Structures are given as structure tokens and as C-alpha cells.
Amino acid sequence: MSLRINDTAPDFTADTTQGAIRFHEWIGDGYAVLFSHPKDFTPVCTTELGTMAGLEDEFAKRNAKIVGISVDPVESHERWKDDIRTVTGHAVNYPLIGDTDLKVAKLYDMLPAEAGDSCEGRTPADNATVRSVFVIGPDKKIKLILTYPMSTGRNFQEILRAIDSIQLTAKHQVATPADWKQGDDVIITAAVSNEDAVRRFGSYETILPYIRKTKQPAA
């Protein structure tokens, strides 16, 4: 059965470029971004992992750890790091999981069930479904799921934007509209009465009976 928003993220142990981890323990009391790529030493993946390395501090500001994964062995990840730095100018200092037995990829439905039981002989095309993103909260629940086609590099600024929304809406009874970014107006949820909205937010604007906008609440 496929994973869905608000499911508990499957826990696992895995070898990484920073040693063995147990996923839930590694997450701790913050957020985590688990993102996969089809294969080491491939062009789009090289740009993606370097981009994430350059954004690591931005994720840290949001109390979010990042971890990469593919079905390549840890030794391959280590060799690839030099290429990533050469191409993007960013050193990969976050852990990369070597999922050679496909255990994690199957737990997170990144590969079809018939994908075999090891990484041996696999090509990028075999791993076409493995360009996935999972944002996981401190409660170990899945907050966001994205899967991109193999030929399309991800926009990791969008992941940061989504985390900003997830964290804001978890704290306040608001939602964020299309293309929202930090500092923009937010939408008051239907669970908040008009009277309570005044108490909570001071003032708001009614666009339609079911759309009430207000300034973004303070963190």
C-alpha cells in the first residue's frame, strides 16, 4: 500500500556516508527531508545533490535535517562527492544512504515491487521512479510527498517554501494560498469563527464567505 500524508514514516536502519543510522532516532525532535536520486555519477543528480549541499544551512534554520539516498553503495557516494563539488561548488556534508538491497526504496514505494533485491546491474532507467522527496515532522508523520520524473531536476526552493508553510500552519489555524511565500497574507481556516479570528489575528479581510485573509502570524 502506498504511503500517504500523515502516515507514520517507516523506520529503518541503514548504512550512510556518516555511518549507520536508525532513521527515527536520527530525525530526533526536528524535521527531516529524505530525498532520493536515480544513480550516482549522472548529470541531473549531480546538480541536485550539490544544490541541496548549498541549501543545508537554510534547512538547518528550519530545524530540518537532510539525507540523500540511492541504491548505489556508500563507497560510490563517497567517490562521487568530488564531482559534485567540482560541478556545483558545494561540498556534500549531509549523509547519503547506500540502499544496495533496495530495502528503503521499497519501504517508501520508490521502486516497483518487481525491481529485484539488489542494486547489481541496475541502470538509471531501472531507477526512473527514484527521484522522490519526503518531508517528515518531529512526530515522525509524513508531511509532504513529491516524485519527479527522471529527466526533471527538482526545485529545492519549493521544498523550503513548503516546510515554511507546514511549520506555520502547524502552529496557527491558517492555510497558505497558491504561490505563498514568507511574509505573504495567509488564509484563516474554516475551523476559526469570525469572532475567534478577531481575537487571534486582530483583523482580517473577507474575500468570499469561505475565504478570509489576514497577515501572516508571528512565529
Active-site hit among 27, 33, 34, 45: 45
Give pLDDT, residue 218.
Answer: 84
Confidence tier at 63 by pLDDT (50, 70, 90): very high
Q: Would you call 45 a catalytic residue per the annotation?
A: yes
Q: What domains can you pick out in the chain, each with its CATH number?
A: 13-152 (3.40.30.10), 172-214 (3.30.1020.10)
Q: Which residues contact 155 (CB under 8 A, 6 or more apart)?
A: none
In this structure, are residues 157 and 53 in contact, taking their beta carbons and an 8 Å threshold?
A: no
More confident residue, 106 or 180: 180
Among 36, 39, 35, 37, which Cα is nearest to 123's? 39
Interval 91-106 mean pLDDT = 95
Q: What is the mean pLDDT of the chain?
A: 93
The 10s digit of each residue's pLDDT in 101-135 is: 999 998 998 876 566 676 676 666 666 667 899 99
Confidence tier at 64 by pLDDT (50, 70, 90): very high
Separation of alpha carbons 83 and 50, rounded Å:
9
Q: What is the dihedral of CA 122, 11, 54, 128, to 10 degrees?
A: 30
Kindly tell me if the per-residue pLDDT of 32 is higher than 60.
Answer: yes
Three-point CA angle 192, 193, 198, nearest 5°: 95
**pTM listed for this prediction:** 0.92
Name the strand (E) or helix (H) holding 90.
Answer: none
Separation of alpha carbons 61 and 64, rounded Å:
7
For 46-55, 91-100, 108-117, which range has the lowest pLDDT when averaged over its residues? 108-117
Give pLDDT, residue 57.
Answer: 98
Name the strand (E) or helix (H) holding 26.
Answer: helix 23-27
Helices (H) and strands (E) in the chain, counts: 7, 11
> In sequence order, what E strands does 27-63 have?
31-36
